[in-house]
Amino acid sequence: MALQHQYDDDDSEDLQIHLVPELRKRIKQAAEESHLSVQEYIESFLEQTYPAEPIPLQKYQDGLNLAAIQDVLAYRDELQRAHPDVFWNTLEEIYQMREERLRELDQR
């Protein structure tokens, strides 16, 4: 496995990883089974393995299982990445219904 960094003019950094064919095939297969692109699958895997902001333990001292909470949050993120239109449409529909209801009330 070889790593290569590429730098763009805007200082954003891309990372290219060259994998052995067998590992690349396994990753592609796992991504397909998850209905994700390879990039989405790897991002999801890395986010689950190395979360951006760990949940502080003291926040959940009331008996909640921290591992279960982290699993739910990771699953929510995975769903949002896999189906962004579902979450957006639901929110948009709520706003539209609210606006319609406000217009109805204004007409009275």
Q: Is residue 4 helix, strand or coil?
A: strand
Is 25 a residue whose pLDDT tops 90? yes
pLDDT in tens, 31-90: 999 888 999 999 888 888 887 776 665 555 566 677 888 888 898 888 888 877 766 666
Cα distance between residue 34 and residue 80, in whole Å: 13
Q: Between vectors from CA 28 to CA 33 and to CA 15, what angle results, nearest 5°?
A: 130
The confidence score (pLDDT) of residue 48 equals: 83
pLDDT of residue 103: 92
- pLDDT of 4 over the 60 cut: no
Calculate the CA 59 to chain-centre distance: 23
Q: Residue 8's CB: how many other CB atoms inside 10 A?
A: 8
Query: What are the domain boundaries of the chain?
Result: 2-107
Contact 37, 43 (CB under 8 A): no
